[in-house]
Amino acid sequence: MKTTSEIAERLQAEIDASGRSLLSIAKAAGLGYAAVYRIAHRERDGMTIETMLRLAGALGLTVEFKRGRNARAKA
């Protein structure tokens, strides 16, 4: 399982590799420019899962959730 820090690092790499402006990514993700700027410049404090999912979508990435061996099924 990836940690939020590892996911943030991947998003940062994808932002860098995209060649797109931070403003265009922010608009596509429905986020403010400042939020994307902070992530792109490794200032990850307070980054939520929702923000990560929005960024992933704006960058054309998918996020997959898997049930682990320790997960309990609900009755």
Instruction: Give the model confidence (pLDDT) of 13-64 as tens digits.
Output: 999 999 999 999 999 999 999 989 988 888 877 788 899 999 999 999 988 8
Instruction: Identify the pLDDT of residue 65.
Output: 78
CA angle 6, 17, 53 (to 5 degrees): 45
Residue 5 predicted with pLDDT over 70? yes
Cα separation of the two ends of the chain? 24
Instruction: Identify the pLDDT of residue 50.
Output: 92
Instruction: Identify the pLDDT of residue 70.
Output: 66
Instruction: Identify the pLDDT of residue 59.
Output: 96
CATH assignment of 4-58, among 1.10.260, 1.10.3470, 2.60.40, 3.40.50:
1.10.260
What are the sequence ranges of the domains in the chain?
4-58
Task: Name the nearest CA neighbour of 38 among 56, 27, 51.
Answer: 51
CA–CA distance, 11 with 17 (Å, rounded to integer) = 10
